[in-house]
């Protein structure tokens, strides 16, 4: 049986909505508690997705960085024997003096990345930009995050700048540390639809690979979305530069949530108004596929195998988190662990499963657009100090022994029970 490791992660999104910045590490209180790292060490985790974010280190200028917080945290992680996977931008658009739609995002992130590598030459794992495709969708297509655009041209430009910045950042880092590795994260689900919207589902199922395809030099004139990218502003020279000098990830980081698989339906009367979006041709509802009967979802195991078969690169599950009860959080983690190990047993090179949002997450129920609710993680921080939840013992046992047994794990999660269905897909529609 293949051995899959257990990693951890600290939710650290810095999102900008107009001129308002929101920092998850400040909301959780993690920025004020160095002792959080000792709590993480008690879990037995030896690798941690951790922020060294451009917006925090150099909020006003790259000429005036403040390393005090990151010096203290990274040095403590090193003392504890925990290897950080350093993130440089996490759902952000960079500091106020740049943005994803500006060329300075690429050059600025490359400069910042080199500064980080020079200051912490012992760090070997990096995620320069978390989920470029997802961030470009939310900022460029849906207008939820800065710079609040709503068109394909903005989406393509933001995606390209993030990919170009990732490549430039890793090249700069490797000038300092040639052994540095790129752990590239992206949400990976699958899209289903009514027969009428098959064309849109097919497009989105191709689009979900674009971050990895661009980095791997696969977007040639023969690529199914090459024409789409060119039509919406990508130049032939930009795409050729990525094709001719690819920078494939050392690990494909697959983020998978209960909402990652989606269903599209043009019959708007069956769905709430907030689920309705559009392309250039028609309006349709976009809802969680897990809520639609009688769909059968691909699931994490099959998506990991799909990514492995497409790229033949090591994969890891880089975010596992569920906003729900302790029991359901335990079931979700166990099933992700089982899926990753099953994919490894089926031949995929699966490196790890990452317990995300160790200190919980804020406002994801509003997609970070306004104040929402807090979801706990391995720790609950609502009292101002991290309190260990039922997940703590489970994570500790998985990290140390690669197994955990508890009666609650024998039950089905809500995502598997018949009561989850809110919509019905009629095949004859």
Share of the chain above pLDDT 90, in %: 98
pLDDT(72) > 80: yes
HSE-CB of 345 using CA atoms within 13 angstroms: 8
pLDDT at position 2 is 64
Express each pLDDT in 347-378 by its tens digit: 999 999 999 999 999 999 999 999 999 999 99
pTM: 0.97
Per-residue exposure over 223-241, b if at least 16 CB sit within 10 Å of its own CB, e if not: bebbebbeebebeeebbee
Question: DSSP letters along 355-389, please?
Answer: E--TT-EESGGGTTSS---EE--SEE-TTSS-EE-
**1 — pLDDT class (breaks 50, 70, 90):** low
Q: Phi, psi at residue 323, to the nearest 5°?
A: -85, 95
- Would you call 117 exposed, middle or buried from its count of C-beta atoms within 10 A (0-12, 13-18, 19+)? buried
CA angle 68, 72, 75 (to 5 degrees): 130
d(CA 31, CA 39): 14
Average pLDDT over residues 7-32: 97
Average pLDDT over residues 195-208: 98
Would you give the DSSP letter of residue 33?
A: -
d(CA 205, CA 194): 14
User: How far is CA 343 from each of CA 4, 132, 301, rounded to the nearest angstrom?
Assistant: 10, 25, 5
Express each pLDDT in 157-179 by its tens digit: 999 999 999 999 999 999 999 99
Note whether 236 and 156 are within 8 A (CB). no
Would you give the DSSP letter of residue 247?
A: -
Q: Which two tokens stand for residue 307?
A: 């990514």
Question: What are the residues facing 380 on neighbouring strands?
Answer: 387
Average pLDDT, the chain: 97
d(CA 340, CA 353): 7
End-to-end CA separation in angstroms for the chain: 44
HSE-CB of 60 using CA atoms within 13 angstroms: 4
Note whether 102 and 108 are within 8 A (CB). no
- Sorted by where each begins, the domain ranges of the chain are 5-187+248-257+297-416
Note whether 196 and 429 are within 8 A (CB). yes
Q: Which of 69, 75, 78, 85 minimizes the C-alpha distance to 31?
A: 69
Q: Which two tokens stand for residue 99?
A: 């943005």
pLDDT at position 429 is 42
User: How far is CA 152 from each of CA 53, 94, 274, 367, rounded to the nearest angstrom?
Assistant: 27, 21, 21, 20
Sign of the CA dihedral 364, 365, 367, 371?
negative
Contacts of 421 (CB under 8 A, 6+ apart): 291, 292, 293
Would you give the DSSP letter of residue 138?
A: I
List the CATH code of the domain at 5-187+248-257+297-416.
Answer: 3.20.20.80
Express each pLDDT in 309-330 by its tens digit: 999 999 999 999 999 999 999 9
Question: DSSP letters along 76-117, please?
Answer: HHHHHT-EEEEEEEES---STT--TTSTHHHHHHHHHHHHHH
**412 — pLDDT class (breaks 50, 70, 90):** very high
d(CA 290, CA 214): 29
Q: Helix or strand or coil: residue 15? A: strand
Measured over all CA atoms, what is the biggest interatomic distance in the chain, rounded to whole angstroms? 62
**425 — pLDDT class (breaks 50, 70, 90):** confident
d(CA 14, CA 100): 14
């Amino acid at each position: 049986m293949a051995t899959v490791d257990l990693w951890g992660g600290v939710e650290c999104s810095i999102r900008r909505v107009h001129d308002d910045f929101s920092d998850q590490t400040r909301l959780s209180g993690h920025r004020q508690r160095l002792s959080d790292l000792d709590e993480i060490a008690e879990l037995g985790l030896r690798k941690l997705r951790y922020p060294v974010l451009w917006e925090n280190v150099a909020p006003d200028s790259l000429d005036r960085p403040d390393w005090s917080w990151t010096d203290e945290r990274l040095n403590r992680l090193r003392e504890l024997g925990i290897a950080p996977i350093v993130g440089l931008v996490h759902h952000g658009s960079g500091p106020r003096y740049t943005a994803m739609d500006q060329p300075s995002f690429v050059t600025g992130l490359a400069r910042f990345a080199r500064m980080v590598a020079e200051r912490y030459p012992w760090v070997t794992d990096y995620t320069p930009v978390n989920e470029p495709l997802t961030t470009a969708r939310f900022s460029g297509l849906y207008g939820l995050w800065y710079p609040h655009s709503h068109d394909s041209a903005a989406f393509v430009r933001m995606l390209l700048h993030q990919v170009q910045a990732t490549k430039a950042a890793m090249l700069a880092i490797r000038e300092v540390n040639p052994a540095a590795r790129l752990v590239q994260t992206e949400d990976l689900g699958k899209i289903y639809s009514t027969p009428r919207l098959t064309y849109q589902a097919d497009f989105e199922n191709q689009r979900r690979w674009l971050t990895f395809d661009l980095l791997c030099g696969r977007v040639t004139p023969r690529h199914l979305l090459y024409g789409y990218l060119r039509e919406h502003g990508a130049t032939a020279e930009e795409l050729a530069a990525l094709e001719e000098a690819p920078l494939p990830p050392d690990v494909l980081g697959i983020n998978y949530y209960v909402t990652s698989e989606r269903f599209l339906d043009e019959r708007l009367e069956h769905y709430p108004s907030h689920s309705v979006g559009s392309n250039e041709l028609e309006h349709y509802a976009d809802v969680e596929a897990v809520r639609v009967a009688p769909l059968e979802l691909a699931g994490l195991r099959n998506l990991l195998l799909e990514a492995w078969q497409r790229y033949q690169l090591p994969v890891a599950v880089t975010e596992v988190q569920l906003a729900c009860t302790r029991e359901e959080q335990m079931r979700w983690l166990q099933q992700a662990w089982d899926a990753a190990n099953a994919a490894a047993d089926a031949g995929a090179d699966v490196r790890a499963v990452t317990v995300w949002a160790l200190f919980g997450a804020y406002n994801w129920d509003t997609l970070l657009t306004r104040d929402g609710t807090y979801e706990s993680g391995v720790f609950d921080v609502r009292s101002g100090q991290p309190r260990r939840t039922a997940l703590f013992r489970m994570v500790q046992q998985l990290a140390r022994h690669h197994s955990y047994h508890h009666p609650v794990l024998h039950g089905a999660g809500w995502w598997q029970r018949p009561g989850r269905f809110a919509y019905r897909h009629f095949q004859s529609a």
